Amino acid sequence: MSQITDSQKPEASAHQTGGQTHFGYKNVPIQEKEARVADVFHSVASKYDLMNDLMSAGIHRLWKRFTIETSGVRKGHRVLDIAGGTGDLTMKFADIVGDDGEVVLADINASMLKVGRDRLLDKGYGRNIEFVQANAECLPFPDNHFDCVSIAFGLRNVTNKDRAIESMLRVLKPGGRLLILEFSKPVLPIISKAYDLYSFTALPVMGKLIAGDSESYQYLAESIRMHPDQETLKAMMETAGFARCKFYNMTAGVVALHTGIKP
Amino acid sequence: MAIDPVIVSSMTAAIEEAINKTLQYSPASQKHIDQLDGAVIDICTDPFNIRLQFGNQRIFIHHQTDESPAQATISGSPLALLRLATSSESLTNLGKNSVVIEGDSETIQQLYAFVKTLDIDYEAMLAEITGGIPAHFIGSSFRSLRRWTKSANESMESNIEEYLQEEGRQVPARVETEIFADEVDELTLAVDRLAARIELLVQQKKESPNT
């Protein structure tokens, strides 16, 4: 497994040209990406939580915690957790909104949704949670419906990110908040080098040993590099129509939380 | 350079976990937590401001990154807030403690009632780790030590007071001080009256210089 070089990495801005889009560092037909991403998550769903804890040394819990702290969600609110996966954010949101509120855990992947639903039901959640299989690009919800929409570690897997952000804007109520938690670009060069080394050597090995699948974790590392950096994503949110857009770098920019308000 | 949010979140997570774990051993407080369900209260002790959010019989502790306003805000130095939480004063005397309270008064009353009913059963907490018998032994020893400390403290205060006032004659007795203070007060009033009288006479002299 070799470390990434600039010549290997395609231009992130060159995504979706000529009917092609990126799937990690590969270019694939746009209509294929969704199925390929689905295969990745079908493959890793059962070991998803364990791998998250191992890969991040548990820090992903603090990234998600900060997202909740920034959400401004209150009792009685209606929250949409897109790409909710195994339900980490949904659980916290459900505690806060209480029985008067509602949390929708949406994921495009049936395997992830099943793992998330089983996990939440086993923990005694469910009264104020709905589980919906949905594509972030065309959310099956009415306009102006949610007080808060979150997508944690999901946007980079979406084929058309602009369309997904526009869809999130549509379902938010005016004054509602979008939270995008996603891997981003480290702000310190030394961290960036160490992070690349870790991503392209340790992650696939861990994936092979724990989840029996190194390719999915190779894709994870590649897809992170292809994801828009902090400023680009912020500009995408502003272009979609969000106001007061800003981002918080976490762990030296390895992860960033973007927030925006629907005007 | 700003502190990484992950560090702040790890601190709030630790505080939140400790508080909620401890609250399990104060059953009397549960009723008040239910009353506070949904409440959002900011505690401002610069530079560390936190937000308390009540829900699902828990307290969520957040660093204040959320810009939406809280129902109530309590501001003051950490020492003043600690004094407020531990004092037996009523809520109407809070202004004397250099604590500023803003927002919904009912929420503040409920929070105050919640803090006042906290009665944590530390022995039960300890029993989960050590077992019942060692916990009871440690609890009894701690209570005895606390009683002895309180008694020794009171006794020492009384003895020092008696020595300084009665034996050493270094300071006057409380009654003597009170009498002296009363006399000073009377003298102050008399001087004020005299000053007013002189002022009046001077005024009269100015108005009719020929008399």
Q: What is the CATH number of the domain that holds B14?
A: 3.30.1050.10
Residue B97: the pLDDT is: 61
Check whether residue B14 and residue B95 sit in a common domain: yes
Domain assignment of residue A9, yes or no: no
Query: Which among B6, B10, B53 has CB closest to A96?
Result: B53
Higher local confidence (pLDDT), A9 or B36: B36
Give yes or no for residue A4 having a pLDDT over 50.
Answer: no
Over range A109-129, report the average pLDDT. 90
Interface of B with A in 24-53 (CB under 8 A): 37-38, 40, 51, 53
> Is B66 in Cβ contact with A95 (below 8 Å)?
no
- Per the CB < 8 Å rule, is A251 touching B60? no
Q: Are residues B11 and B107 in the same domain?
A: yes
Do B14 and B96 sit in the same domain of this protein? yes
Residue matched to tokens 């929708």: A104
Do B50 and B136 lie in one domain? The reply is: no
Write the DSSP string, B22-48.
HHTT-GGGHHHHHHTTT-EEEEEETTE
* Same-domain status, B131 and B79: no
Mutate to test the interface with A, among B1, B4, B17 (most CBs of A within 10 A): B4
Helix axis angle for B122-130 and B132-162, nearest 10°, is 140
- Asked if A30 contacts A16 with a C-beta cutoff of 8 angstroms, the reply is yes
Residue A127 lies in a domain: yes
ipTM over 0.90: no
> Structural domain tally of chain B?
3
- Count Cβ atoms below 10 Å from residue A62 Cβ, excluding itself: 22
Among the partner-chain residues B37, B56, B62, the one whose CB lies closest to the CB of A69 is B62
Shared domain for B63 and B157, answered yes or no, is: no
In this model, does residue B63 exceed pLDDT 50? yes
Residue type present at position A115: V
Q: Which of B90, B116, B142 is the last residue of a domain?
A: B116
Q: Is B30 left (phi over 0), alpha (psi -120 to 50) or beta?
A: alpha
Pair of tokens at residue B178: 């009170």
Decide: A55 and A218 in contact? Cβ < 8 Å.
Answer: no
Same domain, B72 and B157: no
Terminal CA-CA length for chain A: 46
Contact A66 B68 (CB under 8 A): no
The CATH number covering residue A84 comes to 3.40.50.150
Facing A70 at nearest CB: one of B38, B58, B65: B65
Confidence of residue A14 (pLDDT cuts 50, 70, 90): very low
Of A92, A97, A142, residue with least CA distance to A120: A92
Residues B108 and B126 reside in one and the same domain: no
DSSP B131-167: -HHHHHHHHHHHHHHHHHHHHHHHHHHHHHHHIIIII
Residue B148 phi/psi, 5° resolution?
-65, -40
For the cut 80, the answer to whether the pLDDT of residue A50 exceeds it is: no
The torsion angles phi and psi of A61, rounded to 5 degrees, stand at -65, -40
- Which residue, B116, B145, B162, sits at the end of a domain? B116
- The parent domain of residue A136 ranges over 15-261
Nearest to A69 among B4, B55, B66 (CB): B66
Instruction: Report chain B residues whose CB lies below 8 A from the CB of A97.
Output: 55
A5, part of any domain: no
Q: Does the structure show a pLDDT above 80 at A233?
A: yes
- Mutation pick from B6, B7, B42, B51 vs chain A, by most beta carbons of A within 10 Å, is B6
Give the mean pLDDT of chain A: 84
**Average pLDDT value for residue range B91-118:** 79
Residue A58 scores a pLDDT above 80: yes
B9 and B110 share a domain? yes
| Phi, psi (degrees; rounded to nearest 5) at A37 | -65, -40
Is the same domain home to B167 and B180? no
**pLDDT given for residue A140 in this prediction:** 96
In sequence order, what DSSP letters do the residues of B82-128 get, joined into one string? HHHHH----GGGGGGGT-EEEE-HHHHHHHHHHHHT----HHHHHHH
Asked if the model's pLDDT at residue A25 lies above 70, the reply is no
Work out whether strand B40-45 and strand B58-63 pair parallel, antiparallel, or are unpaired.
Answer: unpaired
CA atoms within 13 A on the CB side of B201: 6
**Which tokens hold the place of A247?**
């981002």
| Domains identified in chain A, total number | 1
Is the backbone peptide bond immediately before A140 cis, with ω within 30 degrees of 0? no
Rounded distance, CA A130 to CA A142, Å?
15
Could you list the residue range(s) of the whole structural domain that residue B200 is in?
A: 176-211
Look at residues B75, B100, B116 and tell me which one is the last residue of a structural domain: B116
Of residues A149 and B105, the one with the higher pLDDT is: A149
In this predicted model, what pLDDT tens digit does every residue of A197-220 receive, in sequence order? 888 888 778 777 776 777 777 777
Chain A: residue whose CA lies nearest to B67: A72
Could you tell me if residue A65 is inside a domain? yes
B58 pLDDT above the threshold of 70: yes
Contacts of B48 in chain A (CB under 8 A): none
Q: What are phi and psi of B65, to 5 degrees?
A: -105, -20
Residues B24 and B97 in one domain: yes
Do B134 and B37 fall into the same domain? no
Residue A4 lies in a domain: no
Mean pLDDT of chain B: 85
Q: Is the pLDDT of residue B19 over 80?
A: yes
Residue B10 has pLDDT above 80, yes or no: yes
Residue with the larger pLDDT of the pair B174 and A261: A261
Name the token pair of B206: 């100015």
In the predicted structure, residue B42 carries a pLDDT above the cut 70: yes
